[in-house]
């Protein structure tokens, strides 16, 4: 920020186990999105290390990192980030192109994922022809297109009404339960955090609380 130095994260240490649904909570400016970007290999720390599957991704060359990221991680963004000139199927196919999945397989898998999120009748529609909730469901299908081990979602319901947001979280929870995916969701909404098994609260770039949600506590006991 010009000459002002801001420490987005300060001495933060966090371990996320495979197959866990984690919510990262905090007010605007707390550092939660920066943390998510570090976990997702989109930003790199000025100090410290970031390990994914035992590899220090903070020092990995960009060419190697892009392949690693494409295979291991799936992303869901608040702004959807769909390409406007592509239809729903083509948007879901896009990450598979970079992983060199054959064309026929890409199309079949994209259509199957769109059907899973309830968009069977909308596979040929462009983003401008879809509602906000439908666009986010396309984004969910895209996130799962390369069968990633980890799904990273930054305020996935931020641009949606409460009813539509709840449906999106139900889709995420369903994928997590049925496929054992690791879910990392950033949110400022306690209702969204309640879908998670573990909640990490951040303030001023540091973890101030890390606990199991009531749902996960009851399940473990």
Hey, how many other C-beta atoms are within 10 angstroms of the C-beta on 109?
20
Query: Helix, strand or coil for residue 56?
Result: strand
Could you report the per-residue pLDDT of 28-48, keeping only the tens digit for each?
A: 889 988 898 888 888 888 888
Cα 99 → chain centroid: 19
Hey, how many other C-beta atoms are within 10 angstroms of the C-beta on 57?
21
Could you report the per-residue pLDDT of 105-155, keeping only the tens digit for each?
A: 999 999 999 999 999 999 999 999 999 999 999 999 999 999 999 999 999
Which of 4-13, 33-42, 61-70, 196-205 is the most confident on average? 196-205
pLDDT given at position 218 = 44
pTM across the whole model: 0.87
Find the distance separating the first CA and the last CA of the chain, reported in whole Å.
47
In whole angstroms, how far apart are CA 30 and each of 21, 27, 105, 202?
21, 5, 42, 6
Domain segments of the chain as ranges: 21-220
Could you report the per-residue pLDDT of 64-87, keeping only the tens digit for each?
A: 888 888 889 999 988 899 999 999
pLDDT given at position 213 = 59
**Looking at domain 21-220, which CATH architecture does it have?**
3-Layer(aba) Sandwich (3.40)
pLDDT given at position 1 = 56
CA distance 197 to 215: 7
**Residue 57 has which token pair?**
């991704």
């Amino acid at each position: 920020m010009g000459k002002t130095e801001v420490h987005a994260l300060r001495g933060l240490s966090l371990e996320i186990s495979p197959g866990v649904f984690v919510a990262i909570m905090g007010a605007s400016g707390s550092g939660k999105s920066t943390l998510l970007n570090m976990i997702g290999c989109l930003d790199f720390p000025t100090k410290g290390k970031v390990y994914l599957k035992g590899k220090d991704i903070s020092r990995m060359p960009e060419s190697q990192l892009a392949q690693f990221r494409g295979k291991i991680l799936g992303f869901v963004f608040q702004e959807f980030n769909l390409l406007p000139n592509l239809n729903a199927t083509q948007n879901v196919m896009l990450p598979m192109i970079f992983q060199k999945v054959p064309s026929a397989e890409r199309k079949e898998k994209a259509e199957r994922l769109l059907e899973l999120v309830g968009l069977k009748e909308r596979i040929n529609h462009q983003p401008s022809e879809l509602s906000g909730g439908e666009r986010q469901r396309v984004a969910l299908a895209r996130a799962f297109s390369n069968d990633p081990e980890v799904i990273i979602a930054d305020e996935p319901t931020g641009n949606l009404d409460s009813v539509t947001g709840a449906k999106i979280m139900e889709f995420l929870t369903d994928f997590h339960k049925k496929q054992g995916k690791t879910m990392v969701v950033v949110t400022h909404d306690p209702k969204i955090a309640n879908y998670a098994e573990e909640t990490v609260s951040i303030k001023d770039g540091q973890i101030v609380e890390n606990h199991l949600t009531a749902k996960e506590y009851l399940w473990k006991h």
